[in-house]
């Protein structure tokens, strides 16, 4: 069976990338993915300015300077100092010509129309120089950059009012199973409520670069699944389908995809989530998620979502889920599990660093254990775990 990280890499490489883009106002671009490389239109800072409220002085050797005026942020005037002169200056105000330093106001005493410094000023202190951060033409944001609040701030600081972003990725979600119902008046004996679709739909809705579409529940019927997937593949970028992905006689998702397109990979050496797979129907990517809710959730977080980020145009390195290291506060000895496990756990910050502890309810059908979880703990196959050992964890 294929290793998880190998599978994740293959999945990302095989994800088709969106090419369509649109130009939208910057105030609607939060969470979208940039479809252009943005360059600085101005130097940053755009002009020499004061980093402090204080006094701009000319003449480092003087002890006293004659105060000749005031300059505040946004003042249009251009002052020129002579040796022995100073101006009152505020943070962000343009530095007068010939300024040697800005002395912070805390170090100044005022005597009539002169100032004295309690300390020797240093050349250039408290001055923010034009271009010290960015030069005009420097790359601000790369094509494929995720537009978080900081990125939007950076673009706005350069006067950008519109941004070219990738179109939203149309992602349709289906669940399959004759046992599933979504309306509580419909539930018959031995049926269960569909929880994967609301759960995964909720996940999709958190991402501004995705336009989620609810495809509903499909019965365990090959013809219906085949017809529905063919239709969905012609109008969406990605299909997510949960359940029916195993090898039972009533698992029709794989045969349906095989008829319409192809399965690229099926099964990974992970627990939960072994039946995860992916494929393609014409230009549409399709991901098969296990029916068990926890397996569905875990594979969506670690495989489905990175693939969607990648398909949506995001830089490949950024598409992978965030991870960090934390110390085990538990033991698995011996670990005879042949698959890599992703245990649902809690995180605690201690004097010696972050510590993780798996929750008790680890069944792949037990969503309640997942709700309290803060992290997925990566437990490599057949690797003993002892307290204090550093492990990779994924925040959820």
Given the rule CB under 5 A, which residues bind Mg ion? 177, 243-244, 291
Query: Nearest Cα to 369, choosing from 347, 349, 348, 346?
Result: 346
Question: Does residue 244 interact with ligand AMP by CB under 6 A?
Answer: yes
Evaluate the omega torsion of the peptide bond into residue 334 and state whether it is cis, within 30 degrees of 0: yes
Question: Does residue 245 interact with ligand AMP by CB under 6 A?
Answer: yes
Using CB under 6 A, pick the residue from 175, 236, 285, 299 that binds ligand AMP. 175
212 binds, among Mg ion, ligand AMP, none (CB under 5 to 8 A by kind): none
> Cβ 243 to Mg ion, closest distance in Å?
4
Query: Nearest Cα to 298, choosing from 354, 375, 355, 358?
Result: 375
**Residue showing the smallest CB distance to ligand AMP in the complex:** 291
> Cβ 220 to ligand AMP, closest distance in Å?
8
Using CB under 6 A, pick the residue from 54, 243, 272, 369 that binds ligand AMP. 243
232 to 192, 239, 337: CA distances (angstroms): 25, 7, 38
95 to 79, 106, 118, 200: CA distances (angstroms): 8, 19, 22, 55
Using CB under 6 A, pick the residue from 179, 211, 221, 264 that binds ligand AMP. 179
Query: Nearest Cα to 303, choosing from 336, 326, 327, 269?
Result: 269
> Cβ 365 to Mg ion, closest distance in Å?
12
292 binds, among Mg ion, ligand AMP, none (CB under 5 to 8 A by kind): ligand AMP
Q: What is the CA radius of gyration of the chain?
A: 30
175 binds, among ligand AMP, Mg ion, none (CB under 5 to 8 A by kind): ligand AMP
Using CB under 6 A, pick the residue from 48, 49, 242, 285 that binds ligand AMP. 242
> Cβ 237 to ligand AMP, closest distance in Å?
22
Question: Does residue 277 interact with ligand AMP by CB under 6 A?
Answer: no
> Cβ 174 to ligand AMP, closest distance in Å?
9
182 binds, among ligand AMP, Mg ion, none (CB under 5 to 8 A by kind): none
Question: Does residue 389 interact with ligand AMP by CB under 6 A?
Answer: no
Q: Which helix (H) or strand (E) holds 306?
A: helix 305-311
Q: Are 179 and 137 in contact (CB under 8 A)?
A: no
Using CB under 6 A, pick the residue from 45, 177, 273, 306 that binds ligand AMP. 177
Q: Which helix (H) or strand (E) holds 204?
A: helix 196-205
CA atoms of 199 and 180, how far apart (whole Å):
14
Evaluate the omega torsion of the peptide bond into residue 181 and state whether it is cis, within 30 degrees of 0: no
Dihedral sign of CA atoms 320, 286, 191, 249 in order: negative
Query: Nearest Cα to 8, choosing from 393, 356, 316?
Result: 316
- Taking the least distance from each CB to ligand AMP, the nearer of 108 and 295 is 295
195 binds, among Mg ion, ligand AMP, none (CB under 5 to 8 A by kind): ligand AMP
Query: Nearest Cα to 240, choosing from 168, 310, 291, 274?
Result: 291
> Cβ 225 to ligand AMP, closest distance in Å?
12
Stretch that binds ligand AMP, among 47-55, 69-77, 192-200, 315-323 (CB under 6 A): 192-200
Query: Nearest Cα to 229, choosing from 208, 251, 255?
Result: 255
Can you give the binding site for ligand AMP, defined by CB under 6 A? 175, 177, 179-180, 192, 194-197, 242-246, 290-293
């Amino acid at each position: 069976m294929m290793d998880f990280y190998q599978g994740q890499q293959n999945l990302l490489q095989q994800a088709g990338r969106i090419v369509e883009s649109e130009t939208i106002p910057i105030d609607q671009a939060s969470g979208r993915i940039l479809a252009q490389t943005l360059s600085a239109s101005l130097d940053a800072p755009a002009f020499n300015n004061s980093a402090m409220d204080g006094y701009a002085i000319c003449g480092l050797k003087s002890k006293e300077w004659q105060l000749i005026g005031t300059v505040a942020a946004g003042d249009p005037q251009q002052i020129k100092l002579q040796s022995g002169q100073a101006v009152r200056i505020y943070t962000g105000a343009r530095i007068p010509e010939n300024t040697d330093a800005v002395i912070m106001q805390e170090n100044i005493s005022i005597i009539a129309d002169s100032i004295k410094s309690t300390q020797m000023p240093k050349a250039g202190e408290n001055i923010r120089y034009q271009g010290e951060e960015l030069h005009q033409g420097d790359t601000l944001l790369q094509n494929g950059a995720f537009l978080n609040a900081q990125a939007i701030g950076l673009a706005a600081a350069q006067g950008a009012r519109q941004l070219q972003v990738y179109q939203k990725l149309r992602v349709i979600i289906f669940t399959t199973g004759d046992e599933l119902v979504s309306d509580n008046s419909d539930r018959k004996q031995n049926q269960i409520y569909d929880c994967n679709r609301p759960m995964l739909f909720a996940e999709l809705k958190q991402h501004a670069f995705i336009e989620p579409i609810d495809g509903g529940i499909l019965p365990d019927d090959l013809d219906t699944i085949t017809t529905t997937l063919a239709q969905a593949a012609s109008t969406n970028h990605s299909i997510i389908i949960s359940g029916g992905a195993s090898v039972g006689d009533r698992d029709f998702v794989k045969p349906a995809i095989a008829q319409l397109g192809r399965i690229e990979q099926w099964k990974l050496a992970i627990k939960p989530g072994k039946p995860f797979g992916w494929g393609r129907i014409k230009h549409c990517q399709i991901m098969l998620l296990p029916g068990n809710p926890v397996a569905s959730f875990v594979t969506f977080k670690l495989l489905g979502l990175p693939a969607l980020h990648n398909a949506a145009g995001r830089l490949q390195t950024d598409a992978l889920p965030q991870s960090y290291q934390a110390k085990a506060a538990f033991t698995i000895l011996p670990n005879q599990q042949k698959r890599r496990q992703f245990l649902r756990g809690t995180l605690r910050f201690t004097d010696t660093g972050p510590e993780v502890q798996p929750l008790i309810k680890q069944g792949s059908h037990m969503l309640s254990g997942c709700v309290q979880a803060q992290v997925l703990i990566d437990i490599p196959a057949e690797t003993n775990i002892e307290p204090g050992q550093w492990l990779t964890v994924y925040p959820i």
